[in-house]
Amino acid sequence: MATNKILTMVILVSLHPVFSQSTSSNTTSTDTLTRQKAFSLIIKNTLINQAYLSTYFFMAGNSFQGRALSLGKSPTEATIQWVSASVVGLGLSYFTTKTLSQEYEDILSSGDRNEISNEPRYYQYIYTGGSIANITDFKAESMTAGSDGNPLWIATTPKVKTSLSFPSLGYGFGVSGKRLVREFETSLVSHYTVEQDVSYDAIPIPIGTIALPDRFFLINSLTMGVNVNYWLPEIGVKPYIGLGGRMLINSIQSQYPGPGDLTQSKGDLELDSITLNWGFHASVGVRSTLSNKRFLYAEFRPLRHYFDYESGKATGKEKDQFTFEIFEFRLGMGFYYN
């Protein structure tokens, strides 16, 4: 699929400066270069598996969810079908990467840690987490132009409340130096809008307040991106702060045509949008060592994910965009290779 190729190309380009190795350094040992090369090959295998396996099952999950909605099943039942397919895809990509990368993992695990104590530590990690999230800066714009050439109407709302459909779930790979940590990770994120009254400002006619039904939007994302963290002074545990960016495959589905049309078509899928976008985050966390090979970590992340898509029908078609503001707390476990 074109989306898969674009996603792979963009992430490969974005990752190159982060994970590239310096071949001009005269102070880097052959063993270190071997481990760096092995790690980069693991990342490449991960990207390939993510771009195809995870993306395929994410798309399949959206098809299952959409079909369930079109058959008149509840949004909750539909979401379960998306979760099942997407989690299977994430798991398959993880285990396929491990199978294809076994020889590279063996290279990373080779050597006595006491003898290579000055080298960066390579690791993998898994995590799950919960979040509080809201749609902010929502803007809907009619795709029909008036006599003056401008959209017939424009509507905005500052905030729409959402709830977590499924705990965020993901895994990643990293390299930890004395000061900096660099990671590549992928994750699944799922939310839905809750029943609420939403205030809209509209041009040319003020709308006032609209009552949104429960699960008006089902919002799912598959994310892939990089993190760069900075170690702070140790205090029994290892605290850090960081920044990151990611590519998003965003899905929005609904039994309603869109915010501009609250007429539900029973037993039908009225909105089915999949788009490519991006997001970024900050992070603050702590890492606690369990053994020479394992660690636990806890992290708080404020994230901003961006969405834009088309909705509505016929003359009611509209362009919608919003920022998804997420406050996520995650718990995870990591496993050092060396």
Q: What is the pLDDT of residues 160-215, one digit of tens each?
A: 999 999 899 999 999 999 899 999 999 999 999 999 988 888 787 777 788 888 99
Give the total number of structural domains in the chain: 1
- CA distance linking residue 107 with residue 102, whole number of Å: 9
CATH classification at residue 232: 2.40.160.20
Q: Can you give the pLDDT at residue 113? A: 54
pLDDT over 50 (residue 15): no
The conformation of residue 258, written as its DSSP 8-state character, comes to: B
Mean pLDDT of the chain: 84
User: Whole-prediction pTM value?
Assistant: 0.84
The two three-digit tokens of residue 267, written as one number: 């037993």
Encode pLDDT of 103-117 as tens digits.
888 888 876 655 556
Cβ pair 218, 252 in contact under 8 A? yes
pLDDT attached to residue 112: 61
In this prediction, residue 111 carries a pLDDT of 66
Instruction: Give whichever of 34-38, 107-111, 321-325 has the largest mean pLDDT.
Output: 321-325
pLDDT of amino acid 51:
82
State what percent of residues in the chain have pLDDT above 70.
85
Q: Mean per-residue pLDDT for 16-34? A: 43
Q: Are 173 and 132 in contact (CB under 8 A)?
A: no
Least confident of 18-32, 239-253, 310-324: 18-32
Those residues whose C-beta lies under 8 Å from the C-beta of residue 102, and which sit 6 or more positions away, are: none
Full domain range(s) for residue 267? 2-336
Cβ proximity of 110 and 312 under 8 Å: no
Closest CA to 288 of 237, 336, 329: 237
Kind of pairing between the strands at 238-254 and 218-231:
antiparallel
pLDDT at 16: 44
Residue 243 pLDDT > 60, yes or no? yes
Per-residue model confidence (pLDDT) at position 1: 44
Residues 6+ apart with CB under 8 A from 261: 312, 313, 316
Closest of 191, 150, 185, 164 to residue 322, by C-alpha: 191
Distance, in Å, from the CA atom of 104 to the CA atom of 329, rounded to the nearest integer, reads 32
Q: What are 116-168's pLDDT values in tens digits?
A: 567 788 999 999 999 999 999 999 888 888 778 788 888 888 899 999 998 99
Report CA Rg, the chain: 22
**Distance in angstroms (rounded) separating the CA atoms of residues 323 and 246:** 14
Per-residue pLDDT averaged across 314-336, rounded? 91
For the cut 50, the answer to whether the pLDDT of residue 333 exceeds it is yes
